[in-house]
Structure 1
Amino acid sequence: MSFVYNLLVILHFLGLASLIGGFLVQMRTTPRVVNNAMFHGALTQLVTGVLLVGLRYPLHNADPDEWALPDNAKIGVKFVILLVILGLILANRKKESISNAVWGAIGGLAIANVVIAVLW
């Protein structure tokens, strides 16, 4: 089961790369839009994140020394941030252009999620 967990971690990182990459490629372009990379990256992060948390409990039950329980407060904060990101993406996905504030909020919140994941 650890192989599946590690595979999900890789997919979670690829979702992160897609979300932030979709944000970064628009740094010097106008008009800014919600591109498919941002949309699919956020959805990938949501699905893999939920699966990672769900798998952590049986892994902990099988080997508590190797697999710690997830920090539910941290996971909750990251989940709420991702829901806000997804809300912004879904609300602006069909628009021909988005404001710099929306674009910056999507990117800033995605980067904040990385900071929380690493430093908390």
Structure 2
Amino acid sequence: MDVLINVFVGLHIIGIAALLGGFFTQMKAMGEGTAAFGKGMLHGALTMLVTGVALVGLNQADDQSVNNVKIGIKLALLVVILGLVYVKRDEEKVSPPLFGAVGLLTVANIFIAVLWT
């Protein structure tokens, strides 16, 4: 079971990298007001959602403790991120505050995962 959990953790990190990497590559464009949400950002957020739900299920099936409050907050942040990226995915440019919010929420989600023990 540990191997399967570790595979999903790796896939979850790949999703984070896709979402955050897409944000970082658009930071200069955000400063110019021409940033847009790429397909990679949407796929990264979806990967995070699917693998995150799988990780919770696998950890509970393995009788490991799961902090439901932490998972609920992370899920809420991810749903907001996914909603923003999905709704604005076809627009040629997204307003800088909205684009920055996605980056900020992504970083917040990472820090909650790492620092909340």
TM-score, normalization by structure 2? 0.93
Question: Secondary structure, in 3 states, of the residue corresponding to 1:108?
Answer: helix
Q: Aligned partner of 1:28: which letter?
A: K
CA deviations 1:83-102 (Å, max 9, x no partner) are 00011011101111100011
Alignment map for 1:2-13 (pairs within 5 Å): 2-13=2-13
1:94 maps to 90
Aligned residues: 113
Deviates more, 1:51-60 or 1:29-38: 29-38
1:63 maps to none
2:72 maps to 76
1:57 maps to 60
1:27 maps to 27
Question: Secondary structure, in 3 states, of the residue corresponding to 2:28?
Answer: coil
In our comparison, the structure showing a higher alpha carbon Rg is 1
1:16 maps to 16
Identity rate, percent: 47
Q: CA deviation at 1:82?
A: 0.2
